[in-house]
Amino acid sequence: MQVPTMSIKATGARIPAIGIGTFGSDHVSNEEMAQAVHTSLSLGYRNIDCASVYGNEKEIGKVLETFPVKREELWITSKLWNDMHGKGNVLASCKKSLSDLGVDYLDLYLVHWPFPNFHPPKCDVTSRSDNARPYIHEEFMETWREMETLVDLGLVKHIGTSNMTKAKLTLLLRDCRIRPSFQEMELHPCFQQQEFLSYVKEQEIIPIGFCPLGSPNRPARDMTEGDAIDMAHPIIVEIAQKHNCHPASICLKWAHANGIIPIPQSTKERNLLSNLQSISSDPLSNEELEQLKHIDCNSRLVKGQVFLWKEAKDWTDLWDLDGTIACPQSYRNQPSKEEFDGKK
């Protein structure tokens, strides 16, 4: 199956327009996830979204070592976990991922979250790190400089961000030497982040969408009352019936039509194949895309409560909803109105 690709302007490289996510959502074992990667490669996937915190890069590396495909045909992403921010840690973390995955370079390396707060595996929503603190731009730039060095060393081809906000990304674009090529963010029909998504694309940053199906298997800590269920939305169900497909396919077609690279996670061959076929054929009409545009209900599923610091009001402090970074130390380093509006 011919998988569509997207071009990265800064380098001319091309990335497959769909990937397989490898976060096991606290209920898929490392071996099961590695087997899913093997199945995906057999079906034609060439884009694998990994992260050190998922704890399964070594098992995935064994699959990559034995699967008969050239390294240059693969797109492999990994991510810097929150406890490895700062000088000296970034290189060590990247080298560990390279070693575990058994590759000489990464196509993309992302800063997983923009602050150094972390949580233990399989924790519940009340978990908090004693050392948690808000976003401090000077500290983030220290980490970003290390990310830039990885490019200089040839260890990674592209660098990017994940779980950023417009306010934070605006500051990064102002101060960086190497611009992020990608921003990984939660995107699905019931949470479209339309303004931020437009800004990301205007900056020639490619959006990668996690939770593209609405993530029904996300950890319990990320579930709250009132969360939207994308695949049960009547408009999505109606359009799926017209296309004679599962509602999940409509979510992926929506992402592809909006220039988003979705990274759905599944361990079932049937679903993996269907996901791949969803973006390769039978696109949505303009009328259907307009219908889907209006079902956005701002239903963020991954709220990030476990990353909160002591003084934080609630999870909304993580996302700079009013365009202001919620951190006293950052009051002297906020994006100006002109920068935020893209006029500077």
DSSP string across 9-26: TTT--EEES--EE---TT
pLDDT of residue 34: 98
pLDDT of residue 26: 73
Structural contact between residues 109 and 206, judged by C-beta atoms closer than 8 angstroms: no
Work out the number of other CB atoms within 10 angstroms of the CB of residue 158.
23
- Predicted TM-score of the model (pTM): 0.94
Closest CA to 3 of 209, 197, 252: 252
Match 């070594």 to its residue by tokens. Answer: 58
Cα separation, 109 vs 159, in Å, equals: 5
Cα separation, 75 vs 17, in Å, equals: 11
- Structure token pair of residue 297: 């209900």
Which residues are catalytically annotated? 54
pLDDT of residue 331: 44
Cα separation, 41 vs 334, in Å, equals: 44
pLDDT of residue 338: 67
Those residues of the chain that have pLDDT short of 50 are 330-331
pLDDT of residue 123: 84
Q: What is the DSSP letter of 100?
A: H
Angle at 330 (CA atoms; ends 326, 335), nearest 5 degrees: 90
Give the E-state strand segments of the chain in sequence order: 5-7, 14-16, 20-21, 47-49, 75-80, 106-111, 156-162, 182-186, 206-210, 261-262
**Strands 5-7, 14-16: parallel, antiparallel or unpaired by DSSP?**
antiparallel
pLDDT of residue 343: 61
User: pLDDT tens digits, residue range 229-260?
Assistant: 999 999 999 999 999 999 999 999 999 999 99
Structural contact between residues 25 and 219, judged by C-beta atoms closer than 8 angstroms: yes
Cα separation, 296 vs 235, in Å, equals: 11
SS3 state of residue 187: coil
Cα separation, 230 vs 212, in Å, equals: 9
Structural contact between residues 48 and 20, judged by C-beta atoms closer than 8 angstroms: yes
Helix axes 166-175, 194-202, angle to 10 degrees: 10
First to last CA, the chain: 44
**How far is it between the farthest Cα atoms of the chain?**
54
User: pLDDT tens digits, residue range 8-17?
Assistant: 999 999 999 9
SS3 state of residue 10: coil
Residues 306-325: b if buried by 16+ CB within 10 A, e if exposed: bbbbeebeebebbbbeeeeb
